[in-house]
């Protein structure tokens, strides 16, 4: 167990490059492994979760080699082979849910396992639509391990109750290898990295409103350059806004509109934030973000913006403690199904620091502006996003805080503390 001390600081200044987007890193390995030929992936994430995906594809017979620590070649025959052992997804829900769609159409049986945290997360949300397509998936009451016996599936026109990129992507990946037209309709549009990358690689895919449709397609090998992860950038955006006398620039951040809910929210709260040098790389919009310390006001966060910032809500709660007035977060009940119950965990730990925050069934209410006193220990619940959010809270607390089990932050963002230190 690593106990990390976070303490009051002032004047975050400088330019930093945020590490690669994890969502795009996962998909880059998956999709190039399904393409026949050699692909090049630039700026691959160092996070443990995308590396779980990479290890699985090696087990499935795909050749992968790092040219340097961030540049990866994928050489695939376009077909996957039966693994000799269980496929270990580690802590990665993205790996398990998206791989379910891929494995359901293969001509072999495979078993996916995960760590203790992942084994508690709900998998019925992907098992049910795949089963409607004819997939054979065994689970333990809707949880991992998942035993998948691949077969020829039937196309489906599926209406999802959840706006979930993982559910949508799982079904599209099954449809990629299924004769006929497979469609997914969501209540709101979730992140669309799958759609953009599949189109970039030549898939027969179309989008109309909240519905995405795909036909059986052969993907073409490509060079994929991965931009910086806006979910990782969120901690620096919030810190730059609430730490006194700060002025920072985050370089080459993904600005995909299905992921930039946090930018919309902080602008609504009055943030001094500027987007610089916009461009499109490998089908994704990117740019630099400049952030300065700002006077903020509370706001309401609900409805169709929630899927565009679901992972950022714990650190947005930290931000809201420093905004004048009331901030209400609703329609975010799926936060309870993450690495931890992020609603209860966020409320419990921020209260320890002195925040005026109350729990709702589907979110929370924060009354600002609060003085975060610190001088205590807080817990991460084995949740990397909570760990990093609490670190940011510690930067403005009156007394230092001790964050238990901080090692979980390295799962998604091993460079996190080094980058913060470079701005101090």
Catalytic residues: 311
Contact 261, 249 (CB under 8 A): no
166 token code pair = 């993982």
Can you tell me the distance from the alpha carbon of 294 to that of 422, in angstroms, rounded to the nearest whole number? Answer: 21
Q: In sequence order, which residues have a C-beta less than 8 Å from that of residue 60 and are 6 or more positions away? A: 33, 80, 81, 83, 87
Contact 397/353 with Cβ under 8 angstroms? Answer: yes
Name the burial class of residue 141, with classes exposed (0-12), middle (13-18) and buried (19+) by CB atoms within 10 angstroms of its CB. Answer: exposed
Q: What b/e readout covers 23-52, taking b as 16+ CB neighbours within 10 angstroms?
A: bbbbbbbbbbbbbeeebbbbbbbbbbbbbb
Instruction: Return the beta strands (E) in 242-338 as ranges.
Output: 247-254, 272-281, 284-292, 296-297, 300-301, 323-329
> What is the rounded CA–CA span in Å between residue 43 and residue 268?
32
The answer to whether 172 and 209 have CB atoms below 8 angstroms apart is no
CA distances from 244 to 192, 235, 399 (A): 35, 15, 16
In angstroms, the CA 103 to CA 284 distance is: 27
């Amino acid at each position: 167990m690593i106990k990390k001390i976070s303490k009051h600081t002032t004047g975050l200044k400088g330019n930093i490059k945020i590490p690669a987007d994890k969502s795009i890193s996962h998909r880059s390995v998956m999709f190039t492994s399904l393409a026949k030929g050699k692909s090049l992936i630039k700026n691959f994430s160092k996070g443990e979760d995308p590396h779980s995906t990479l290890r699985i594809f090696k087990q499935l017979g795909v050749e992968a080699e790092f040219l340097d620590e961030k540049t990866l070649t994928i050489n695939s025959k376009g077909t996957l082979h039966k693994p000799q052992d269980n496929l270990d997804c580690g802590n990665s829900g993205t790996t398990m849910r998206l791989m379910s769609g891929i494995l359901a159409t293969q001509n072999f049986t495979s078993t996916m396992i995960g760590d203790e945290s992942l084994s508690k997360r709900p998998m019925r949300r992907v098992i049910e639509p795949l089963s409607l397509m004819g997939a054979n998936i065994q689970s333990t009451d809707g949880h991992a391990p998942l035993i998948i016996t691949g077969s020829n599936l039937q196309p489906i026109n599926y209406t999802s109750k959840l706006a979930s990129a993982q559910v949508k992507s799982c079904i599209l990946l099954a449809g990629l290898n299924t004769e006929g037209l497979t469609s997914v309709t969501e209540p709101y549009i979730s992140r669309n990295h799958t759609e953009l990358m599949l189109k970039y690689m030549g898939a027969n895919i179309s989008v109309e409103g909240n519905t995405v449709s795909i036909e059986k397609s052969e993907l073409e090998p490509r060079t994929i350059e991965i931009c910086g992860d806006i979910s990782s950038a969120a901690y620096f955006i919030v810190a730059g806004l609430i730490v006194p006398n700060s002025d920072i620039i985050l370089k080459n951040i993904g600005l995909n509109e299905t992921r930039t809910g946090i930018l919309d929210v902080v602008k609504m709260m009055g943030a001094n934030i500027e987007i610089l040098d916009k461009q499109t790389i490998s089908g994704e919009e990117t740019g630099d973000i400049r952030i300065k310390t700002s006077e903020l006001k509370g706001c309401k966060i609900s409805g169709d913006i929630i899927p565009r910032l679901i992972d950022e809500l714990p650190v947005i709660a930290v931000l809201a403690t420093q905004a004048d007035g009331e901030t209400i977060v609703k329609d975010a009940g799926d936060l309870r199904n993450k690495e931890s119950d992020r609603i209860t965990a966020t409320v419990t730990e921020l209260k320890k620091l002195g925040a005026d925050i109350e729990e709702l069934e589907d979110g929370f209410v924060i009354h600002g502006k609060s003085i975060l006193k610190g001088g205590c220990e807080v817990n991460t619940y084995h949740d990397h996003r909570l760990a990093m959010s609490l670190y940011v809270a510690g930067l403005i607390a009156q007394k230092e805080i001790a964050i238990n089990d901080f090692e979980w932050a390295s799962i998604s963002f091993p460079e996190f503390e080094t980058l913060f230190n470079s701005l101090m």
